[in-house]
Amino acid sequence: MAETTEFELVTPEKLVFSERAEMVVVPGSEGLFAAMPRHAPFLSTLKPGVLEVYEGGKVKQRIFVAGGFAEVTPERLTVLAERALPVADIDKAAVEQRIKDLRDDLAAAKSEAEKKTVQESLDAAQAELLAAA
């Protein structure tokens, strides 16, 4: 039997995922990283993208995450995400509409701070659409 690590994915609303996994590939802000049993401890912020949970050497679950951070220890991976949704549950039409609305909001933004906030939301929505493709 393969060695596993405890993995929890939490959003502000709920515990999304809590299981043991052989490996979890996480979209960190500095690039993808794989959390595995006995991994060296570290923290990373997340970039919008797909988190992949491996079992039996194959991807068992694909989850879109946006915002938040990950904590890796030798025994566990904890991901605290602002948003998490199984890739299979992404509604492409709704995301496309959200992208259109965010582009309109970006064009109407008055301050640099407002533009930055809207651009971050737009980038996350585009990554979500790409994940669903």
Same domain, 11 and 50: yes
Same domain, 84 and 108: no
Q: For residue 57, give every residue at least 6 positions away whose Cβ sits within 8 Å of its Cβ, in sequence order, or none.
A: 2, 22
User: Looking at residues 21-25, what average pLDDT do you find?
Assistant: 95
C-alpha–C-alpha distance, residues 23 and 128, integer Å: 22
Same domain, 28 and 60: yes
Asked if 46 and 79 count as a contact pair (C-beta separation under 8 A), the reply is yes
What pLDDT score was predicted for residue 93? Answer: 93
Provide the token pair at 73: 């220890």
What pLDDT score was predicted for residue 96? Answer: 94
Same domain, 42 and 78: yes
Same domain, 64 and 98: no
Asked if 54 and 22 count as a contact pair (C-beta separation under 8 A), the reply is yes
Q: Whole domain around residue 78: which residue ranges?
A: 5-88
Residue 1 pLDDT level (bands cut at 50, 70, 90):
low
Provide the token pair at 8: 């929890």
Same domain, 16 and 72: yes
Same domain, 78 and 25: yes
pLDDT by residue (tens digit) across 36-85? 999 999 999 999 999 999 998 899 999 999 989 999 999 999 999 999 99
Same domain, 78 and 95: no
Same domain, 24 and 81: yes
Same domain, 75 and 100: no
Give me the number of domains the chain comprises.
Answer: 2
Q: What is the pTM of this model?
A: 0.87
Residue 133 pLDDT level (bands cut at 50, 70, 90):
confident
| Mean pLDDT, the chain, whole residue set | 93
Same domain, 21 and 48: yes
* pLDDT of 13 strictly over 70: yes
